[in-house]
Structure 1
Amino acid sequence: MFLNGKLFLSPPQDGSDFKELFKRLAAAGAGRPLGSDGFPAGPWTPELLAEAISQIDSNRIGVDLRTVQLWFQENDKGISAANIRWLARVFGCDDPVATSEWQIELSAAQSKLTAKRREWKRVGNGDAVGARDMESIATFAGETDPRTEPPRYTDAIESGRRLSLARKSEALFTDGSRLNLPASVFAGISALGFLSFTIGIHNVEYGRPDGVVKQVGFLWTANWTFVFMVFLPLFLASVSEAVTSWKNQERPRIIRCGGLEESYHAWEHIVDDLSYSFWAVFLICLLFAGLFQWIGVCLIPLVHGGSNFAMDWSKFAIVQPEIVSIPETIAFTGLAYLYMCLCFYLLFSGLILLYAIVDDIWKLGEAARNRSGAHVDLDLDEAGFGVMRWVFRCTVLGVLIATVMKLQSSYLTSSGENILAWLLSDLSSALYERADAGNRFSYTMPTHYSSLLVAISACVVFLYGAIRLGVGSQFQIPLYKMSGVVALLVGGYLLIDAFSGFSLLLGVAGLLAIYGLVDPGFSPARASKSGNDQSVS
């Protein structure tokens, strides 16, 4: 049936909830104008429906695309009373009588959804689920009509049963305040610092057999204090800003400007496709970086005594049991390594999300250029450069984390009394041309390997972004400067303790890196202004 030149479907009045009713109408294209051949124009997409609602004359504020996307997705989100009015206008084909009928039908469907949502939450809280309940929930999940989305995204029951680690990890960066995640990491290391005071290992010294007395207290370990109090919180805040801005602002803008239809490849689906990556990283961090490393580095030496690892706060009970007991040290190191492995999971999760943003903007750019032509190139280049500014910041912070980890590990083998004295001694040996004649011990240093993994992972994401988004871009010169800083910082990391005076190279690279965190483009006013105009920069 056609009404006012549009496809009109009468309200079914079959007791369907809003999700069921909307899915059928969107698939049929109810309310869409007829095509030039006189046939229906096809199903609704979030972009087309949002545009149609926003073009209603009496609707002055329009509707947010994200709101319309939620109607299409498999979730428990309904529709507000204000939007029921506008959706009824669309399905009613601007006919007053038909619009009134659809307003009544949509209001009843929303009430049905609200009641079913309460029942679904009750079932999810652990109540018994019978066959009739499962059938009702399956209908609510949309399994009766799989035409609008691929099957892997319509099975809401299976998604509820299994742990969606990818979605939950992404939500840590995007939900709530962007301060939450960095503050949580800072609070964790602060709590460990207070515990170290309690058990007495915050400031302890160890006399090596060669007579060198080294500071091995917990609060003197740069790979715990600097990493988890400064660099990792900054890294997490940067990733949170990048992902939130891309997801909520830049991505919808590119889709609108490029004339794309992105209901099928929504951001949530992209995150879901990376589920195996999140799980792989989580298991590696938990088992290898956490459990197995704690057993090999801390537990076995504490229980059996002696090891080929350098003496530090985690094994100090072996030589000074009157200061801290072995059971106390086992408990403290267990908490510390659990905290550490979870924090490194957050770090690698952030790198995965940055990779997803780079890959997403590259694919959207290709689709927009093929659809809209060359006039979209400038907007895409600016958006890509805005993304690369955040990728550069995160890469710099990632390499700085790896650098601090390797510095602490190298210090334990040196003759320095503490890490600051060791670095100053190396710097003076370069400035005054004195050879470093200190004694060195040969230890097994697993931190060297783990720091290398962090550095490589951060650089791979930056390299991928530079290749995907930098080729042909008008912002090539700032990207070259970014690449030079990353290369210098990586060179400083690799040459730690390789020669006398390495700290001079490391200091120069560190100063440039810190400046790059403030102005990632290292650019004049004009380029800086164009970058600052981007909401993701």
Structure 2
Amino acid sequence: MVFMPLFFAIVAELLVFWKYEGRLHLVAHPDRMDSSDTWARNVEASSCTFWAVFLICFLFAGVFQWIGVRLLPLVQGAGSIAPDWGSLALVQPEVISVPEEIVFTGFAYFYMCVCFYVFFAGLILLYTVVQDFEKILAGSDDKQKAEHQHEANTVGARVMRGIFRCTVLGIFIAICMKLQSTYLASSGTNIVRWLVGDMTSIFNTGDEIHSLTDYSAPNHFSSLLIVLATVFVFLYGASRLGASGQFHVLMGMMVTTVAILVASYLLIGVFAGFSILLSVAVLIAIYGLFDPGFETWNAVEQRDSQSVS
């Protein structure tokens, strides 16, 4: 999945910017020599949170979920989830045996745990950046705030753009997870045909989306957890950085984009034609990835308003 590496790359880029450039623009000159050490202490202060996320990812999202979703159905010879790569031994035993499937799913869930942990660790670091930004401004006197107001607005906008990109990518990951599990629980033979059939189902009575089976979808819970954690970090950043910076129009467009994307995620599989809303939301979000400040759109709007006046 391309969204996860992009998420890691944007988080790494934002952390490098904050540690070696953004933070130095905000702290007073005498404190700049200790800026890296202060940032390291702030990250170290979140060590308990990192350990808690580690245990949750590896125990609950990894071991317990693997046992309940993969191991027990393979051992018992039946399960309540839709047939997929993890239950191929039950459907086509000539392709792969049950012991081989157990080992394969074990490695797959271990890999998933690692990805989950690194993803949530990235969110914790983004949260720490916003918290550090707020602490620096809170510790500055009125004179320093006035002197660094422009720098604070510029750095805050840069940080918020990075958080917005990470939020969009995180929701994209959740959408892919929910789409996959919803498709597997449907009667569709191909995910592309299934989505196209859902788009066209609003024009006829043959709603393919209503042919969902009674299989359970454990990915729904995992994807919802990703959305909740990602949106929480985004809203925390918007409430802190938006209050300190003078870019309310930018913030409003970001919040609107995230809201539309979350709504499209929640409505996957709920009604016939959900893929139309999903397509519109994804297109808007992709534009936001390349232009998180929506500068191009704002420039066109300002030029049109000036030409009218």
Fold equivalence (TM over 0.5): yes
Counterpart selection for 2:207 from 425, 436, 442: 436
CA distance in 1 between partners of 2:81 and 2:272 (Å): 24
Aligned length, in residue pairs = 298
1:424 corresponds to which residue?
Answer: 196
Q: Which amino acid aligns with 1:436?
A: D
SS at match of 2:80: coil
Counterpart selection for 2:185 from 396, 407, 413: 413
Counterpart selection for 2:73 from 289, 301, 306: 301
CA distance in 2 between partners of 1:261 and 1:439 (Å): 62
Structure with greater contact order relative to length (CA < 8 Å, sep ≥ 6): 2
CA distance in 2 between partners of 1:278 and 1:234 (Å): 21
CA distance in 1 between partners of 2:159 and 2:2 (Å): 23
Deviations 1:447-505 (A, max 9, x none): 11110000010000010000001025221101111111000000000000111100000
Equivalent residue runs for 1:364-383 within 5 Å:
364-370=136-142, 372-383=144-155
Equivalent residue runs for 1:429-508 within 5 Å:
429-430=201-202, 432-437=203-208, 439-471=211-243, 473-508=245-280
1:353 matched to 2:132: no
Instruction: Note if contact 1:485-1:513 (Cα within 8 Å) is conserved in structure 2.
Output: yes
CA distance in 2 between partners of 1:323 and 1:525 (Å): 53
Counterpart selection for 1:285 from 43, 57, 62: 57
RMSD: 2.0
CA distance in 2 between partners of 1:439 and 1:464 (Å): 39
Equivalent residue runs for 1:28-67 within 5 Å:
none
SS at match of 1:321: coil
CA distance in 2 between partners of 1:399 and 1:287 (Å): 23
1:513 matched to 2:296: no
1:272 corresponds to which residue?
Answer: 44
Give 1:388 shift. 0.1
Give 1:379 shift. 1.3
CA distance in 2 between partners of 1:525 and 1:376 (Å): 28
CA distance in 2 between partners of 1:339 and 1:368 (Å): 44
Instruction: Note if contact 2:137-2:145 (Cα within 8 Å) is conserved in structure 1.
Output: no
Give 1:304 shift. 1.2
Q: Which amino acid aligns with 1:491?
A: A
Equivalent residue runs for 1:129-528 within 5 Å:
229-256=1-28, 260=31, 263=34, 266-370=38-142, 372-430=144-202, 432-437=203-208, 439-471=211-243, 473-524=245-296
Give 1:366 shift. 2.2
Give 1:433 shift. 4.2
SS at match of 2:100: helix
Q: Which amino acid aligns with 1:292?
A: F
Q: Structure 1, unaligned stretches of length 5 or more?
A: 1-228, 529-537
Give 1:526 shift. 8.4
CA distance in 1 between partners of 2:34 and 2:185 (Å): 56
SS at match of 2:188: coil
Deviations 1:187-229 (A, max 9, x none): xxxxxxxxxxxxxxxxxxxxxxxxxxxxxxxxxxxxxxxxxx3
CA distance in 1 between partners of 2:82 and 2:296 (Å): 47
Give 1:508 shift. 0.4
Deviations 1:284-331 (A, max 9, x none): 111111111111111111111111111111011012211111111111
CA distance in 1 between partners of 2:200 and 2:18 (Å): 46
Q: Structure 2, unaligned stretches of length 5 or more?
A: 301-309
Q: Which amino acid aligns with 1:445?
A: A
Cα pair distance change 1:281/1:527, threshold 3 Å:
farther
CA distance in 1 between partners of 2:297 and 2:274 (Å): 34
Give 1:524 shift. 4.1
Answer 1 or 2: which has greater helix percent.
2
> TM-score, normalization: structure 2?
0.91
SS at match of 2:58: helix
CA distance in 2 between partners of 1:472 and 1:368 (Å): 13
Choose 248-257 or 398-407, whichever is displaced more. 248-257
Deviations 1:91-129 (A, max 9, x none): xxxxxxxxxxxxxxxxxxxxxxxxxxxxxxxxxxxxxxx
Deviations 1:166-201 (A, max 9, x none): xxxxxxxxxxxxxxxxxxxxxxxxxxxxxxxxxxxx
Instruction: Note if contact 2:198-2:207 (Cα within 8 Å) is conserved in structure 1.
Output: yes
Give 1:369 shift. 4.3
Give 1:370 shift. 3.7
Give 1:525 shift. 8.3
Instruction: Note if contact 2:25-2:151 (Cα within 8 Å) is conserved in structure 1.
Output: no
Instruction: Note if contact 2:123-2:230 (Cα within 8 Å) is conserved in structure 1.
Output: yes
Q: Which amino acid aligns with 1:304?
A: Q
SS at match of 1:266: helix
Cα pair distance change 1:386/1:302, threshold 3 Å:
same
SS at match of 2:117: helix
> TM-score, normalization: structure 1?
0.53
CA distance in 2 between partners of 1:274 and 1:347 (Å): 15
Q: Which amino acid aligns with 1:347?
A: F
Instruction: Note if contact 1:369-1:376 (Cα within 8 Å) is conserved in structure 2.
Output: no
Instruction: Note if contact 1:260-1:367 (Cα within 8 Å) is conserved in structure 2.
Output: no
The sequence identity of aligned pairs, in percent, is 50
CA distance in 2 between partners of 1:236 and 1:501 (Å): 33
CA distance in 2 between partners of 1:461 and 1:527 (Å): 29
